[in-house]
């Protein structure tokens, strides 16, 4: 999720207290601010170093070829603008994990992390990799919103007329609440795709359900969310269930860990979360969706956090891992991670600090590595069975990062 706008609103109110604002609007940590390291964001976005859609497709093709049959790449759909949506599958194990990235088009750290994971799993011949691939099947969707990606923005690129052309029964219905006429300063309409999911995976959009509300399920109105849903359903039919679904994102650039952790004050690297399903840990959903298991999501998230800390050490900036903003009442039933969790999957949200254009290349490299290590740690914990033995309550021991400054 993109919390940049909300974060900047919150920061604007707090500027006199904690921030110096440089000419041109770039924000710097003020001298004497508690914590470690400054937070500088660029107002002149640089997209150097991020793979665009054509480059991702090319890299997937190369990975498939050099893997000599180990990695299988398939086209599973097309965006409104005709860009291909792809899965890359590796491993033959009976536990399956689906990992997607860049559903918000300008959040691409996970894309690079997934390409690195696929490259390694497709070519490494050591015993540990072989064992991993016998235990787990990884299905990666490295870039699920390329139309948004090409515009360097969060939303995809589809008009309401185009939506109605896809779903003629919606003629005359109000626009879905999560469809906008513009975003990120670009006057082209589109969806926040991460509100377009419904736990009823057979759901067909109904005019009477529109426009809907933030706390309710979405409507599968866009080709990207339909493609992700179809991949999920195909895996569920093949494996009986999809063990885990992981969604890779970016968040605000300047959040710091709080709450008494040993990294207090340090800029957060990765925030993790389980599904935001309202009060009492999704209790309202459990009668209709008995497979919902919030604890399993927390165990997978914990496996990621533990793996990152083990790889880099508790004091490393790369291991400044915390819990994503998640007050008890937070409710987004239309997010993919919520819909798939109600179908029995453990689902984990990764958020790395900073939008893709906020930070320098050195930080990009560190964050890509942190995400990659987190995803690899979950896969390893699936393969070994460790993820089943963790105590999900330990997830709550992870630090947060100043949730009291947030408004929703």
Pairing of strands 136-141, 27-29: unpaired
CB 353 within 8 A of CB 268: yes
Reduced to 3 states, what is the DSSP secondary structure of residue 130?
A: helix
Q: Which residue has the tokens 């008009």?
A: 159
CB of 154 to Zn ion, least distance (A): 7
Give the residue among 331, 324, 379, 332 at the shortest CA–CA distance from 353.
324
Site for Zn ion contains 3 (CB under 5 A): no
**Rg of the chain in Å (alpha carbons):** 20
**Sites for Zn ion among residues 283-302 (CB under 5 A):** none
The answer to the question of residue 1 lying near Zn ion (CB under 5 A) is yes
What residues have CB less than 8 Å from 216, skipping those under 6 apart?
333, 334
**Among 249, 298, 337, 372, contact with Zn ion (rule: CB under 5 A):** 249
Q: How far is the CB of 103 from Zn ion (least distance, A)?
A: 7
The CB-of-192 to Zn ion minimum distance in angstroms stands at 9
Least spacing, CB of residue 110 vs Zn ion, in Å: 10
Q: How many residues sit in the footprint of Zn ion (CB under 5 A)?
A: 5
What binding mask, one character per residue, do residues 105-124 give for Zn ion by CB under 5 A, x or -? --x-----------------
Q: How far is the CB of 332 from Zn ion (least distance, A)?
A: 12
Helix or strand run (H / E) with residue 378: helix 361-384
Nearer to Zn ion (CB atom), residue 222 or residue 306: 222
> Applying CB under 5 A, which part among 114-122, 175-183, 249-257, 296-304 lies near Zn ion?
249-257
Show the site string, 300-339: x = touches Zn ion by CB under 5 A, - = not: ----------------------------------------
Piece of 101-109, 115-123, 219-227, 262-270 that binds Zn ion (CB under 5 A): 101-109
Least spacing, CB of residue 108 vs Zn ion, in Å: 11
What does the buried/exposed string (b/e) look like for 347-357 if buried means 16 or more CB atoms within 10 Å of the residue's CB? bbbbbbbbbbb
Q: Which stretch of DSSP H or E encloses residue 305?
A: helix 294-312
Q: Counting contacts by CB under 5 A, is residue 246 touching Zn ion?
A: no
Rounded Cα distance between 47 and 52, Å, is 9
Q: How far apart (Å, rounded) are the C-alpha atoms in residues 337 and 194?
A: 9
Does residue 179 bind Zn ion (CB under 5 A)?
Answer: no
Span from 35-43, 98-106, 140-148, 197-205 in contact with Zn ion (CB under 5 A) = 98-106
- Minimum distance between the CB of residue 255 and Zn ion, rounded to whole angstroms? 14
- Please give the full DSSP string across 219-282, using - where no structure is assigned: ---SHHHHHHHHHHHHHHHHHSS--EEEEEEE--S--B-BSS-TTTTBBPSEEEE---B-HHHH
Question: Applying CB under 5 A, does 4 fall inside the site for Zn ion?
Answer: no
Residue 83 or 104 with smaller CB distance to Zn ion: 104
* 3-class state of residue 169 by DSSP: helix
353 binds Zn ion (CB under 5 A): no
104 binds Zn ion (CB under 5 A): yes
Block residue for tokens 């139309």: 147
Rounded to a whole number of angstroms, the minimum distance from the CB of residue 240 to Zn ion is: 30
Closest to Zn ion by CB, 122 or 148: 148
Chain contacts with Zn ion (rule: CB under 5 A)? 1-2, 104, 107, 249
């Amino acid at each position: 999720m993109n919390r940049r706008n909300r974060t900047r609103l919150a920061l604007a109110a707090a500027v006199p207290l904690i921030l110096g604002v440089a000419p041109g609007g770039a924000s710097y940590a003020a001298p004497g601010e508690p914590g470690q390291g400054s937070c500088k964001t660029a107002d002149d976005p640089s997209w150097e170093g991020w793979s665009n859609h054509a480059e991702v497709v090319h890299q997937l093709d190369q990975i498939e070829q050099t893997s000599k049959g180990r990695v299988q790449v398939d086209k599973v759909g097309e965006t409104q603008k005709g860009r291909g949506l792809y899965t890359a599958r590796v491993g033959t194990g009976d536990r399956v994990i689906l990992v997607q990235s860049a559903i918000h088009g300008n959040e691409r750290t996970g894309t690079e992390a997934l390409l690195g994971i696929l490259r390694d799993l497709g070519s490494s011949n050591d015993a540990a990799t072989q064992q991993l691939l016998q235990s787990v099947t990884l299905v990666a969707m490295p870039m699920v919103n390329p139309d948004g990606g090409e515009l360097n923005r969060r939303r995809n690129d589809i008009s309401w007329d185009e939506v109605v052309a896809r779903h003629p029964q919606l003629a005359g219905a109000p626009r879905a609440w999560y469809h906008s006429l513009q975003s990120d300063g670009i006057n082209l309409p589109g969806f926040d795709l991460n509100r377009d999911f419904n736990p009823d995976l057979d759901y067909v959009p109904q005019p009477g359900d529109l426009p809907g509300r933030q706390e309710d399920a979405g409507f599968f109105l866009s080709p990207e969310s339909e493609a992700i849903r179809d991949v999920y359903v195909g895996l569920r039919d093949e494996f009986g269930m999809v063990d885990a679904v992981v969604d890779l994102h970016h968040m605000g650039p300047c959040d710091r860990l709080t709450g008494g952790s040993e990294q207090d004050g340090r800029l957060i690297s990765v925030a993790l979360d389980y599904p935001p399903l309202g009060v009492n840990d999704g209790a309202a959903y459990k009668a209709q969706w008995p497979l919902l298991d919030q604890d399993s999501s927390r165990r997978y998230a914990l496996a990621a956090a533990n793996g990152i800390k083990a790889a880099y050490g508790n004091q490393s900036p790369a291991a400044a891992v915390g819990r994503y903003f998640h007050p008890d009442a937070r409710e987004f039933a239309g997010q993919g991670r919520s819909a798939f969790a109600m179908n029995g999957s453990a689902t984990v949200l990764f958020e790395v600090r900073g939008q893709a254009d906020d930070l320098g290349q050195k930080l990009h490299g560190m964050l890509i590595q942190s995400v990659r290590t987190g995803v690899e740690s979950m896969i390893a914990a699936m393969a070994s069975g460790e993820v089943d033995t963790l105590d999900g309550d330990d997830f709550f021991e992870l630090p947060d990062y100043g949730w009291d400054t947030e408004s929703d």
